[in-house]
Structure 1
Amino acid sequence: MLASGRRDREIRSVNGKLHLFLRGLLGTLALLVLAAPAPARADAAFTQFIASLWPEAQAAGVSRETFERETRGLEPDYKLPDLALPGRPATGAGKQAEFVQVPADYVREATIERLAAEGRRLMQKYQPVLAQIERQFGVPGPVVLAIWGRETDFGRYTEPHDALRVMATQAYAGRRKAQYRTEFILALKILDEGVVPRKAFRASWAGATGLTQFLPSDYFAHGVSLEGNAHPDIWRSVPDALASAAKQLADKGWQPGLRWAYEVRAPANADCTLGVPEVQRPIGDWVRAGFQPIGVRLSAAELAQPASLLQPEGIYGPSFLTTKNYFVIKEYNFSDLYVLFVGHLSDRMTNPQPFATPWAASTQLRTSSVEAMQKHLARLGLYGDKIDGKAGMLTRAAVGAYQKSAGLKVDCWPSEGVLQSMGAAR
């Protein structure tokens, strides 16, 4: 009996210790569960928005199977720029290099030379394709190669975002919802047609996709298959991508046989406020006013061509007389620096000479500072374009007009000194 009682007490002791251990373990697990981050909740409003687009997708010819497959589990990417979210700070426009770098940094000589060398190799490799493109669309091979080189480094660069997610996010929360609503539907149509698998359907934050960077609407408007594919493949077919880029330029008014621009040496008394697209004169008139073309002899036909003055750094750095084809390239990407890069790169594939006038050591104001400058210029009636913080042609000319009125040195460059002068005026 004594042995039995002692055994019972030992069992009760063990059971008690086990009970305390289990209670402690459960408590610890509870604390861990409470401390763990809650699983991400689906964005119900976004999901509902995407579902509401089915009738539009159906009208565009997208199958229900594709719509369900590609939108299942789709979530917005609120880290994208250019969004306007209720209750959150605006994310602002994307910091594209074309609008935040000075020309010397964007049109970097080492980069141009590297891409030009690769472009010369590709001119040989794709000579029959490029010849066919020029016969069909009137766009020289070096120009479409330069676009390919600028956009994706001849296919070496892969865009970081899922294209469908970008279109969906921008359609739901972007600043241009109506535009991206259409782009989202057309992106679904691309997937429905089986042109490119979803994993290869990559895009920039703004939705540009493929070797030569088209929005889905551009793809359907200008896409062409040089290889005879059922659908143009701008993601994996170099001939299709180059031909589609050429067709886009041709559709927007490219003139065969016309240069994109001529570098000129500007006279010392040149009025930089004339550097706007609206001021067009025959090249011969510019030459008679003292703007001397560098490195070329112009024919009578060239001298008769209308051109605009472009001075990307105001009176500093190189000056150019730009033709209609300059502005056609600008419709591909609305940036003077982009067009300069593409145009100069295309020239360098056949001529090794860099710009005759070097870029100046200028600094670029912050986007917010340029925006403040534009608002002040608008209040004075000197500027009537978008308030976007980008120092384009019209902004530079307006700065020059302000400098004239304020008795400052007229250089048409948005500098800190001009901004300070405006601050003092206010």
Structure 2
Amino acid sequence: MKLISLLLALVVAALAPQSASAQSKQALEGQFRGWLEQTVWPAASRQGVSRTTFDQALGGIGLDWSLPGLDPSGTGPQVNWQSEFSAPGRYMAEANVAPLVGIGRGLMGQWKSTLDAVERRYGVPREIVVAIWGRESAFGRASIPKNAVQTIATRAFVGERRDLFLPELVAALKILQGDHIPLSQMKSSVAGALGQPQFLPSKYLEYAVDFDGNGTRDIWNSVPDTLASIANYLRQHGWQPGQHWGYEALVPDTVNCAVEGPEQPYSLSEWQKAGVTRVDGSPLPGSARDARHLMMPAGRLGPAFIVSKNFYVLKEYNESDLYALFVGHVADRLGADARISGKWATTAGFRRGDVRAMQERLVAKGYDVGGADGLVGFKTRTAIGMWQRQAGMAPTCFPDADLIGSIR
């Protein structure tokens, strides 16, 4: 009997949190219905969405609790500061690059006439367009399974970035209002990004293109619409036709790695005078007055690149140095099998929280790190380099376990 009582107690203890959780979810579902009516409907109505469209899209849906990154408490993004710091070389690993190159080359042949037309209209190289297509959705082969409206509504109500997703929910309703795509076909990723180019709804409304001429901007099923929409996005964000995104470079130690980033342009002639060349020793292409930027995603612990404005246009698609570098490198490899020559050092033995603590100490010393977020963007890299030089050290512009301990 004692054993039975103990087992019953354990069962009750196990079930109690689940019951409370279910009650909490049920209460949130009721609040969700009220929020749709009191907040979303007025916002959508002001944007020209009809009551019919609103009811068809949202009338029968509940919250999608299967989505990652939900925040019912409203406390904001929960960062795992204990996670191991991820070195840039992992992102750029050949195992991630090679499959996209192999498949992409075949698709470039298959869609040659379409890519010819896209290049003529938008001035964006086919290799860049195909590289983004591959990175975003594996050339349309990745699963895009979610009801976009439900996904975005869930993120707007109980997600970590609610201010971002409420306007995107209204934009999704405007897509339906304009008969751009049926509700049954409007699928998204778990992050709410639409179709093969992975546009948020507001980006779809602004940049998606009907390139196959059938009257629908179908970035879910139409390859021509997908390719042209990617190219249009880049061109509208300032892509300069005829300008390469950048080149791997040899940067002498006499050039301080802290001169990296979009805020520190130098003319091509200045880089050449400093002894910077392409990685094979040949001169950097371009005219003497062309503005170029140093980009060292791992500081002196990895390869260096001299990039044009088009590199930062790629960052408009995804705000990440490594994303832009990955796309540019895949694009280069689609044309010629030239791998990155520089080696990525392995940095280990510290966590993202250690990086954040280092950033906070740098901020306290007056350095601009671009936000103490545990991520090593260009502002953090340049701040590290400036601190190292002031401390009499050879700048590496990238953290390792010893350096993190030294910055006090």
- Return the TM-score normalized by structure 1: 0.83
Measured in 2, the distance between the counterparts of 1:364 and 1:216 equals 40
Secondary structure at the residue paired with 2:298?
strand
1:142 matched to 2:127? The reply is yes
Structure 1 residues 149-182: Cα deviation after superposition (integer angstroms, max 9, x where no partner): 1111111112454322332133224454333211
Q: Which of 208, 220, 230 pairs up with 2:215? A: 230
- Pair 1:75–1:378, CA change in 2 (3 A): farther
Measured in 2, the distance between the counterparts of 1:399 and 1:64 equals 54
**1:362 maps to amino acid:** T
Determine the structure 2 residue equivalent to 1:210. 195
**1:249 maps to amino acid:** L
Determine the structure 2 residue equivalent to 1:70. 57
Secondary structure at the residue paired with 2:299?
strand
Q: Post-superposition shift, 1:69?
A: 2.3
| Higher Rg | 1
- Pair 1:219–1:110, CA change in 2 (3 A): same
**2:51 maps to amino acid:** R
Q: How many equivalent residue pairs?
A: 387
**1:51 maps to amino acid:** E
Q: Which of 36, 44, 58 pairs up with 1:50? A: 36
Measured in 1, the distance between the counterparts of 2:359 and 2:190 equals 26
Indicate the larger mover: 184-193 or 321-330.
184-193
Indicate the larger mover: 129-138 or 184-193.
184-193
**Pairs within 5 Å for 1:327-406:** 327-363=312-348, 365-383=350-368, 385-406=370-391
Q: Post-superposition shift, 1:127?
A: 1.0
C-alpha contact (below 8 Å) 1:158/1:202 kept by paired residues? no
Measured in 2, the distance between the counterparts of 1:58 and 1:49 equals 14
- Pair 1:102–1:62, CA change in 2 (3 A): same
Q: Post-superposition shift, 1:272?
A: 0.9
**1:54 maps to amino acid:** W
C-alpha contact (below 8 Å) 1:137/1:247 kept by paired residues? yes
- Pair 1:161–1:92, CA change in 2 (3 A): farther
Q: Post-superposition shift, 1:298?
A: 5.1
Measured in 1, the distance between the counterparts of 2:80 and 2:122 equals 33
Unaligned 5+ segments in structure 1 are 1-30
Indicate the larger mover: 150-159 or 381-390.
381-390
Q: State the identity %.
A: 37
Q: Post-superposition shift, 1:74?
A: 2.6
Measured in 2, the distance between the counterparts of 1:365 and 1:290 equals 35
Determine the structure 2 residue equivalent to 1:290. 275
Measured in 1, the distance between the counterparts of 2:66 and 2:117 equals 42
**2:354 maps to amino acid:** S
Measured in 1, the distance between the counterparts of 2:151 and 2:350 equals 29
**1:328 maps to amino acid:** V
Q: Post-superposition shift, 1:205?
A: 4.2
Secondary structure at the residue paired with 1:245?
helix
Q: Post-superposition shift, 1:362?
A: 2.8
Determine the structure 2 residue equivalent to 1:277. 262
Measured in 2, the distance between the counterparts of 1:221 and 1:301 equals 33
Measured in 1, the distance between the counterparts of 2:245 and 2:174 equals 35
Determine the structure 1 residue equivalent to 2:400. 415
Secondary structure at the residue paired with 1:144?
helix
- Pair 1:298–1:134, CA change in 2 (3 A): farther
Secondary structure at the residue paired with 1:400?
helix
1:102 matched to 2:87? The reply is yes
- Pair 1:161–1:101, CA change in 2 (3 A): farther
Measured in 2, the distance between the counterparts of 1:258 and 1:364 equals 40
Indicate the larger mover: 39-48 or 376-385.
39-48
Secondary structure at the residue paired with 2:221?
coil
Q: Which of 253, 259, 267 pairs up with 1:268? A: 253
Unaligned 5+ segments in structure 2 are 1-11
**1:55 maps to amino acid:** P
C-alpha contact (below 8 Å) 2:360/2:372 kept by paired residues? yes
Measured in 2, the distance between the counterparts of 1:45 and 1:246 equals 41
Structure 1 residues 349-372: Cα deviation after superposition (integer angstroms, max 9, x where no partner): 111110122222234853333222
Measured in 1, the distance between the counterparts of 2:389 and 2:70 equals 38
Indicate the larger mover: 144-153 or 184-193.
184-193
Measured in 2, the distance between the counterparts of 1:229 and 1:186 equals 22
C-alpha contact (below 8 Å) 2:76/2:160 kept by paired residues? no
C-alpha contact (below 8 Å) 2:77/2:161 kept by paired residues? no
Determine the structure 2 residue equivalent to 1:59. 46
**2:41 maps to amino acid:** W
C-alpha contact (below 8 Å) 1:84/1:91 kept by paired residues? yes
Determine the structure 1 residue equivalent to 2:157. 172
